[in-house]
Amino acid sequence: MVRVYLDWNATAPLRPEARETMIAAMDVVGNPSSVHAEGRAAKAIVERARGQVAALCGCKPGEVVFTSGATEAARVLSHVHPHGAVMVDETAHDAVWAHFDLTHIETGNNVLAMGLANSETGVITTPPQKSDEGWPYGAYFARSLFLDVTQAVGRIPWSFHWSGADLATLSAHKLGGPKGVGALLVRDGLDIEPLQDGGGQELGRRSGTENVIGIAGFGAAADAAMRDLNDGVWVQVEKLRNILESTLAAETKETIFVGIDAPRLPNTSCFATPGWKGETQVMQMDLAGFAVSSGSACSSGKVKTPRVLTAMGLDARTAEGALRVSLGPTTTEDEVLRFSEAWLKHEKKFRQRAA
């Protein structure tokens, strides 16, 4: 059986450019903090990658802080307390929600935290328009904007500077880089407490010897992702996503396509069949040779009603029947049609059992 990978929102396959760059970086022995030639060679790799990530994200290289991933980068939000509150959008990723009690909003330097594109549905959220009082959120205002752009960057045009954000997070492995490396973007002139104390690396913002190999792969992946954007690769991916949805919609009347009328990432389709558990669908598709998911990879395996989908207005029975299919630049039309055929075969059996 030739397996088909349709779970790009969980992680993208490692790009050849990233693999080659990482292999070359393995032969560089120096510590980036060392001043000798070997150390300077390692430092050069880190700074080259910093420039590549900055170019993709529309920011200055000095605004890029390398981390172990977007989850670690989101820890910057915990430093807001006790001087202010973090106001988290209800559809934000669990990594943003993880550490915050929002039972009350204090006065002070409040932060509005949002995901630019939802990992489960692909729906793109437009931040509210900033006023003289700050970023509006219900009856409150925030002085700073934090954006989780992990799913969006590299798939849709986005710039840190024109977004108006003060902070943003992303991960290399969503771009086709290695797992275990990411970045926090910090607006020039904004002071933050260190994400991690220690030797003062990353201009004191995140201590610990830099992951030179991973950062090298991150930079190469960012460079390749920008090329794909410029070449219109994701426009072709969107066409495949639309073929998938139209093929399924023509054969089923019960299934709901989530966010189909909203701006979405070009690669993401989330569809829900009431009563047919998403976890069951994932297992059935896995046995048929297709890798898909029933939601965010960070929440898979947890027995709970999908928070994001119910926040979007779906009832629990429908939300629990959601499946996410996410495509990438190497996905083919044949793979999409083969998946559609396999899924529809199981969907027909489900309807027969439910009748």
Query: What's the domain range around 162?
Result: 16-229
Q: What is the pLDDT of residue 142?
A: 81
Residues 126 and 176 in one domain: yes
Q: Are 184 and 67 in contact (CB under 8 A)?
A: yes
Say whether both 217 and 252 belong to one domain.
no
CATH number of the domain encompassing residue 149: 3.40.640.10
> Is the bond preceding 194 in cis, omega lying within 30 degrees of 0?
no
What pLDDT shows up at residue 94? 65
pLDDT of amino acid 109: 62
User: For each successive 10 residues of the chain (355 residues), what is the average pLDDT?
Assistant: 95 98 97 96 98 98 95 81 61 58 51 89 90 82 89 97 94 98 95 86 87 98 98 98 98 93 97 96 98 70 64 87 97 98 97 85
Query: Among 214, 229, 244, which residue terminates a domain?
Result: 229
- pLDDT computed for residue 107 by the predictor: 46
Distance from chain centroid for Cα 248: 26
pLDDT at 301: 46
The reply to whether 198 and 273 lie within a common domain is no
Question: Same structural domain for residues 79 and 173?
Answer: yes
336-346: burial string, b at 16+ Cβ within 10 Å, e else: bebbbebbbeb
Is 59 marked active-site? no
Instruction: Say yes or no: 218 and 287 in one domain.
Output: no
Measure the CA–CA gap between 74 and 179, rounded to whole angstroms: 16
- In this structure, are 274 and 191 located in the same domain? no
The one catalytic residue in 57, 59, 270, 298 is: 298
Last residue of a domain, one of 188, 208, 229: 229
Same domain, residue pair 254 and 308: yes
Whether residues 132 and 221 fall in one domain? yes
**Count of the separate structural domains present in the chain:** 2
Residues 219 and 246 in one domain: no
The answer on 94 and 41 residing in a single domain is: yes
Residue 205 CA to residue 212 CA, distance in Å, equals 17
Q: Which of 229, 254, 275 is the last residue of a domain?
A: 229
Q: How far apart are CA 26 and CA 217, in angstroms?
A: 11
Residue 295, pLDDT score:
66
Same domain, 207 and 60: yes
Same domain? For 210 and 285 the reply is: no
Residue 131: both structure tokens together = 């006023």
